[in-house]
Amino acid sequence: MIEELLKMNINEALKCKDARTLFLYLYYHDGNNLDLVGNKILETGDLRYIHFLLRTFEIKDYKKYIDYILNTSSSASYLYYILYGVDYLDEETRLSIINRIIELNEDRYIIKSMYFYFNYLKQFNNDLYNKIKTIFKDKLDIDINRDDLLSILEELFYKEDYMYDYEGFTENCYKGRKDYIPNIIVCHINNTYGSAIKNFYDKEAEVSAHFVIRRDGYVKQVVSLDDSSWANGTSLREASDIYYRFAKSPLINSIEDNANYYTFSIEHESYDGSLTPKQLESSIEVMKKIIRYVKEKYNYDFIIDRDHIIGHSDVNPIVRTKCPGKMFPYDIIINELKKEFN
Ligand SMILES: [Zn+2]
C-alpha cells in the first residue's frame, strides 16, 4: 500500500473518494498539493481525517476545515483535540471552538477547554469569562471572580488526580515479552495524571504504560518491566491507522510485530511535552532503572540515543502527532543517561 501511495501522482490521487487514502497520499508526499487534496478530503465529510489533516500539516487556509467541523460535529471531543493539538489557530478561531464546546454541553470538555485557554495559553477574554462565570454557578454552584479564576480552573482540572488510587500492577498488559529483548523507551504525555491512572486500571479502556510521572515528580509504576504495556501498539493490518510501517522510527518500521512487545513506555503529566524540573529528574531516574534492568535480565547494553529513546509520535505518527510534543527534552535526558552509563 505504501509503495502504491508513493508511486501515485496527483491526478490519480484526486480521483480517490476515500478520506484515508487521500490523507495518506498527503502524508507520503510531504503535504504537496495540500489545498487540492484537502478539498477532496473535505468533500468526503470524514471528520476523523479532516481532524488528522489539521493536526499533521500546518494549513494556511484552515478555516474551511474548522468551519466544517464546527457545523457538523455533534461531539466536543474532535473540537477539543483540535483546540489543544493544532497550535497555529488564531484567537478568533480558538474562541469559536470553545463557544461551540460550551454549546455541546459536555462538562468534561468545557473544563478542559477553559483550562487550556485561561490557564495554559494564559489568554483572557471578557465574554468567555462572563460565560464561564454563569456556567460554573449553574452547574457547580461555584462563585468565581477574576482573582480566583485560574486557581479554580486548576483545581477542577486536576481534581481527578486525587480521586483514584490503585494498588499493585494493572491487568492491562501482555504477560512477558515474546522472544524480544526490549530495547526502546517510548515517551508519552497525558494531560492529567488522574485520567491516565484511571484508564490504565480500567479493563475496558485497554491501555496502560509502565510508568506515570506526575508534575510534582511522583512516580507510579503500573506495569512490571517483565511485561508488555499497552501504550504504543502497532498493527500488522494495512487498514489500521497504527500500521507498523507508518512508524517514523526506523526500528519500529522494520519489525513486523506489535511494538508493545519490545518497548518500555513512560507517561508524563504534561500539555506540550515540557517537564517540571522534578518531573525531568524522575524521568531520568526511571530510565536509569530500565537500563539497569535490561542489563541485569538480558545482559544487554541498552543503546542510549534518539533511535532507542523515542516518542509515541515516532511510533504512531498518524494518530499521535502531539505525544509527547515538541517541547519534550530528549537531548537533556539522553545527555544525562550517557553521563551515567558511558
Ligand atoms: Zn502516547
Name which of 236, 223, 234, 220 is nearest 173 in CA terms.
223
Q: What's the gap in Å between 324 CA and the centre of ligand 1?
A: 6
Predicted confidence at residue 160, as pLDDT, reads 65
Q: What's the gap in Å between 229 CA and the centre of ligand 1?
A: 12
Instruction: Please report whether residue 79 resides in a domain.
Output: no
pLDDT in tens, 148-166: 999 999 888 888 666 677 8
Predicted confidence at residue 91, as pLDDT, reads 96
**Cell 495540500, residue located:** 34
Predicted confidence at residue 21, as pLDDT, reads 96
Instruction: Please report whether residue 248 resides in a domain.
Output: yes
Instruction: Please report whether residue 205 resides in a domain.
Output: yes
The alpha carbon of 41 is separated from its chain's Cα centroid by a whole number of angstroms, namely 23
Instruction: Please report whether residue 100 resides in a domain.
Output: no
Instruction: Please report whether residue 259 resides in a domain.
Output: yes
Domain that holds residue 255: 173-341
The answer to whether 246 and 235 have CB atoms below 8 angstroms apart is: no
Say which residues have a Cβ less than 8 Å from residue 257's Cβ, sequence separation at least 6. Answer: 178, 180, 234, 236, 244
DSSP state of 207: -
The number of folded domains in the chain is 1
Instruction: Please report whether residue 84 resides in a domain.
Output: no
Q: What's the gap in Å between 231 CA and the centre of ligand 1?
A: 7
pLDDT in tens, 10-64: 999 999 999 999 999 999 999 999 999 999 999 999 999 999 999 999 999 999 9
Instruction: Please report whether residue 77 resides in a domain.
Output: no
Name which of 336, 176, 333 is nearest 266 in CA terms.
333
Neighbour-count burial for 324-341, b at 16+ CB within 10 Å, e otherwise: bbeebbeeebbebbeeee
Task: Provide the CATH number for the domain around residue 254.
Answer: 3.40.80.10
| 80/86 Cα distance (integer angstroms) | 10
Q: What's the gap in Å between 261 CA and the centre of ligand 1?
A: 16
Predicted confidence at residue 161, as pLDDT, reads 63
Say which residues have a Cβ less than 8 Å from residue 43's Cβ, sequence separation at least 6. Answer: none
| 31/320 Cα distance (integer angstroms) | 17
pLDDT in tens, 292-335: 999 999 999 999 999 999 999 999 999 999 999 999 999 999 99
The one-letter code for the residue type at 205 is A
C-alpha dihedral sign at 90, 113, 106, 50: positive
Residue 210 has pLDDT above 70, yes or no: yes
Predicted confidence at residue 243, as pLDDT, reads 97
Predicted confidence at residue 8, as pLDDT, reads 94
Q: What's the gap in Å between 147 CA and the centre of ligand 1?
A: 35
Predicted confidence at residue 162, as pLDDT, reads 63
pTM: 0.94
Instruction: Identify any residues that bridge with 219 across adjacent strands, giving them in sequence order.
Output: 213
